[in-house]
Amino acid sequence: MLTIYGIKNCNTMKKAFDFLNDKGVAYEFFDYKKSVLPKADFDKFVVLFGDKVINKQGTTYRKFDDDTKAVLMSDDTFAIYEIIKDNQSVLKRPMVMGEYQGKEVALIGFGDEWEQVLA
């Protein structure tokens, strides 16, 4: 089963939901607005995606001061998690993890690779 992580009202998330629904792909939705991302999941994202987990184009990131941005771009996953657990909108969306048709899936952002991985 796939889990898609994000915020329900995000335009990119809406495209991702539409894609999954149109393809008939079963998924669970982890809503950053309703639940705090577990540290273990965050650590897994960092291992797989590196600093791409931080959405540097979003308004949440842009509102941070330079010191906070420096922490977010550091290698200190504990300090980064301490910031993001209260500011989950700074995470890139969507992130998709899980198993689909017997393969492990790990996607970040919505793009062309979705068609290849989830065809």
Backbone angles phi, psi at 79, to 5 degrees: -65, -40
> Catalytic residue positions?
10
SS3 (DSSP) at 86: coil
Whole-angstrom distance, CA of residue 92 vs CA of residue 102:
26
**CB contact at 8 A, 42 and 49:** no
